[in-house]
């Protein structure tokens, strides 16, 4: 697994406002979008491109275009939805699939309660969006789901990560092609499974407590 933790004052500034408990939902949503766009710049460093020839007003030259097969962006419901606009702003030709993950209250294992994804992901670059990498349970299950559909190249973007979650994903994926991009690596998880210092419940802060 490759891990990239952002190290940029713009990202740290936006994260500071995001963490602040006084930041209201509309600002929280806007900042989440902006942060994802900045993280997407790093996360798409290895996005597949094809060479193209174009004419400028002056001459003919070669460039690249993000081509087929289109990258697939997969927000994990519910909080991952808050990251979608920021991602497709930078990757407008991407397709979007959806994964709903929840913890089974009996087995405590993450289960998939909703999915809308192509059956065959063998040639697709997948970008998973999940704001909080806490224990790694739901992100790990989402990554396994994509690999089970044939994916071979998965990048996960998280706003914050805990060392416990990073270690769990690292152990789970082994030497498979997984890239993890974090806005910041925080200190730890608390006894309730919240990231410390964190930002609280990302889904609630984006969408309220329904
Ligand atoms: N999910 C959240 O929304 N926040 C945390 O701190 C951990 C998991």
Q: Which residue has the tokens 């809308």?
A: 116
Q: Is 90 left (phi over 0), alpha (psi -120 to 50) or beta?
A: alpha
Q: Measured between alpha carbons, how far is 66 from 49 in angstroms, rounded to an integer?
A: 4
Class of the CATH domain delimited by 2-207: alpha beta
Query: Which whole number is the average pLDDT over 76-97?
Result: 96
What are the pLDDT digits (tens) for 111-148?
999 999 999 999 999 999 999 999 999 999 999 999 99
Q: Is 153 a catalytic residue?
A: no
Q: How many CA atoms lie within 13 A of 164 on its CB side?
A: 14
Ligand 1 centroid – CA 58 distance (Å) = 53
Beta strands 72-77 and 178-185 are: unpaired
**Mutate-to-test residue for ligand 1 from 28, 159, 189, 193, highest number of ligand atoms within 8 A of CB:** 193
What is the chain's alpha carbon radius of gyration, rounded to the nearest angstrom? 18
Please report the pLDDT score of residue 158 as a whole number: 98
When pLDDT is cut at 50, 70 and 90, the band that residue 44 belongs to is very high
Q: At what angle do helices 137-148 and 163-173 cross, to 10 degrees?
A: 20
What is the pTM (predicted TM-score) of this model?
0.96
Q: Measured between alpha carbons, how far is 195 from 88 in angstroms, rounded to an integer?
A: 27
Kindly state the DSSP code that residue 135 receives in the 8-state scheme.
S
Query: Which whole number is the average pLDDT over 60-75?
Result: 96
Q: Is 15 left (phi over 0), alpha (psi -120 to 50) or beta?
A: alpha
Q: Measured between alpha carbons, how far is 139 from 127 in angstroms, rounded to an integer?
A: 12
Q: Measured between alpha carbons, how far is 97 from 131 in angstroms, rounded to an integer?
A: 17
Give this complex's ipTM: 0.96
Residue 99, beta-bridge partner list: 76, 115
> Which atom of ligand 1 is least distant from the CA of 201?
3
CB of residue 201 inside a 6 A radius of ligand 1: yes
Tell me the percentage of the chain whose pLDDT exceeds 90.
92
Q: Is 112 a catalytic residue?
A: no
H/E element holding 163? helix 163-173
How is residue 181 written in tokens? 């991009």
Check whether 104 has a pLDDT greater than 80.
no
Please report the pLDDT score of residue 105 as a whole number: 75
CB of residue 187 inside a 6 A radius of ligand 1: no
Query: Mean pLDDT in the chain?
Result: 96
Give 43: exposed, middle or buried? Use CB within 10 Å, 0-12, 13-18, 19+: buried
Q: What are phi and psi of 121, to 5 degrees?
A: -110, 15
Check whether 162 has a pLDDT greater than 80.
yes
Q: Measured between alpha carbons, how far is 25 from 38 in angstroms, rounded to an integer?
A: 20
What are the pLDDT digits (tens) for 170-210?
999 999 999 999 999 999 999 999 999 999 999 999 998 87
């Amino acid at each position: 697994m490759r891990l990239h933790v952002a190290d940029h004052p713009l990202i740290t500034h936006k994260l500071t406002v995001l963490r602040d408990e006084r930041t209201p939902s509309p600002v929280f949503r806007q900042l989440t979008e902006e942060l994802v766009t900045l993280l997407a710049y790093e996360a798409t460093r290895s996005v597949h491109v094809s060479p193209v020839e174009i004419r400028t007003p002056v001459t003919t030259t070669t460039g690249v275009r993000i081509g087929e097969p289109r990258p697939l962006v997969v927000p994990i419901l519910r909080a991952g939805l808050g990251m979608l606009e920021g991602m497709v702003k930078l990757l407008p030709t991407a397709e979007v699939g959806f994964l709903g993950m929840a913890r089974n209250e009996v087995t405590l294992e993450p289960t998939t309660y909703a999915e809308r994804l192509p059956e065959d992901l063998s040639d697709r670059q997948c970008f998973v969006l999940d704001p909080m990498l806490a224990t790694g349970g739901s992100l790990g299950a989402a990554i396994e789901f994509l690999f089970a559909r044939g994916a071979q190249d998965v990048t996960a973007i998280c706003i914050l990560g805990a060392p416990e979650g990073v270690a769990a994903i690292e152990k789970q994926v082994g030497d498979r092609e997984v890239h993890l991009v974090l806005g910041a690596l925080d200190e730890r998880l608390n006894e309730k499974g919240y990231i410390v210092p964190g930002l609280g419940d990302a889904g609630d802060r984006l969408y309220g407590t329904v």
